[in-house]
Amino acid sequence: MTMEQGNPALIVDGLTTSIRVDGHWYETVRDISFSVGPKETLALVGESGCGKSLTALSIMDLLPPKVARITRGRIVVDGVDMTAADLATRQAMRGDRIGMIFQDPMTSLNPVLPIGFQIGESLIQHRGLSRKAARAQALRLLDLVRVPAAAERLDAYPHQFSGGMRQRVMIALALACEPRVLIADEPTTALDVTIQAQVLALLADLQEREGLAVLLITHNLGVVASVADRVMVMYGGDVVESGPVGAFFDIPSHPYSVALLAAMPRIEGGGDLQPIPGQVPSLPEMPTGCRFQARCPLRMPRCAELPPFTPVGGNPAHLVRCWARSEA
């Protein structure tokens, strides 16, 4: 998996998403920009509530209406500006050019429809295939995601599959129309470790074959290290650090990234996990400036101002947003 030059399949530019709590709108995802190219995997990392899933929902246009909305920014998928497009265009794009797989494969398939039908339905909808052709294609897709005895299982219902198999079916469903962008929201969190590895290997394989741009949302840094090309760390709705995976793990620079890595269990070395003290402030209590300041060991008065992105160690691809790093 190497980063390829060329048109990015997904561009997010200055995305700000707000959610409504008690009648007030709070910016929960703040001014996020990134792009993902074909065959590239960008990992979006952070703890629960940091805005990573909200970012994914914003891109997929799945925000719950009335309580969440995109307030600023642009989302461009395969050259189409989704934020400016009408509903019909957005629906034509979703499932066709951009696909998504969800965290829990137990609940993200319709329990009363056979899986062959569910995979074929997307092809009928987006590609105008006949029922028969869609069924043949569904069979090919099940083979592609390595569901054993695919021909016999086309008419099986989701409850007849294990969790790992269901996630494979979900992947087949998301990839049915050969999208250019795949958003994977914690795709392996609900699975056993061995199944996790299989599903990740399958995803990497399909990504190489189909030239997919993958936005991987996870809180698991082990997964990031094994499959991602670049990583973006989010805290409280801000991107605090971004860079190539190698550089990030070599010199994690934001105090939050450092703390996240220290909180990760390791096989060698033993020692206690280092929890991050405190918790993410609630939306009304978000401080101005850097949102990590209340939990930060390097806190200084300037933190009340939002720091700019600065390169780490002269590497323009590895950026951090912290006063303590930019002044050093």
* Binding region for another protein (CB under 8 A) out of 85-93, 127-135, 243-251, 308-316: 85-93
Number of residues interacting with another protein: please give it, by CB under 8 A: 31
Q: Is 248 in the site for another protein (CB under 8 A)?
A: no
Pick the closer one to another protein by CB: 138 or 170: 170
Nearest approach in angstroms of CB 203 to another protein is: 17
Quote the least distance from Cβ 247 to another protein, whole Å: 32
- Asked if 67 is part of the footprint of another protein (rule: CB under 8 A), the reply reads no
Binding residue for another protein (CB under 8 A) from 38, 51, 99, 255? Answer: 99
Told to check if 9 binds another protein by CB under 8 A, we report no
The yes or no reply on residue 21 touching another protein (CB under 8 A) is no
Query: Which position has the token pair 């008065």?
Result: 301
Binds another protein (CB under 8 A): choice among 23, 48, 86, 112: 112
**Residue 190 is a binding residue for another protein (CB under 8 A):** no
CA–CA separation, 33 vs 29, rounded Å?
11
Smallest distance, another protein to C-beta of residue 142, A: 17
CB 100 to another protein: min, Å: 4
Site membership for another protein, residue 266 (CB under 8 A): no
| SS3 letters across the chain | CCCCCCCCCEEEEEEEEEEEECCEEEEEEEEEEEEECCCCEEEEECCCCCCHHHHHHHHHCCCCCCCEEEEEEEEEECCEECCCCCHHHHHHHECCCEEEECCCCCCCCCCCCCHHHHHHHHHHHHHCCCHHHHHHHHHHHHHHCCCCCHHHHCCCCHHHCCHHHHHHHHHHHHHCCCCCEEEEECCCCCCCHHHHHHHHHHHHHHHHHHCCEEEEEECCHHHHHHHCCEEEEEECCEEEEEEEHHHHHHCCCCHHHHHHHHCCCCCCCCCCCCCCCCCCCCHHHCCCCCCCHHHCCCCCHHHHCCCCCEEECCEEEEEECCHHHHCC
Closer residue to another protein, CB minimum distance, 124 or 247? 124
Query: Considering only residues 136-165, where is the footprint of another protein by CB under 8 A?
Result: 157, 159-160
- Residue with smaller CB distance to another protein, 110 or 288: 110
Asked if 110 interacts with another protein (CB under 8 A), we say yes
Instruction: Determine which residue in the list 108, 137, 218, 293 makes contact with another protein, applying CB under 8 A.
Output: 108
Between 185 and 238, name the residue whose CB sits nearer to another protein. Answer: 185
x-or-dash string of contact with another protein, 41-60, rule CB under 8 A: -------------------x
* Cβ at position 74, least distance to another protein in Å: 20
User: Bridge-partner residues for 126, per DSSP?
Assistant: none
Give the nearest distance from C-beta 185 to another protein in angstroms.
10
The dihedral through the CA atoms of 114, 120, 122, 125 has a sign that is negative
Tell me if 310 contacts another protein by CB under 8 A: no
CB count, 10 Å around CB of 1?
A: 13
Residue 91 or 226: the one with the smaller Cβ distance to another protein is: 91
**Residue 231 to residue 140: CA distance in whole angstroms:** 33
* Amino acid identity at 87: L
Residue ranges in contact with another protein by CB under 8 A: 60-62, 90-96, 99-100, 102, 104, 107-113, 121-122, 125-126, 157, 159-160, 170, 173-174
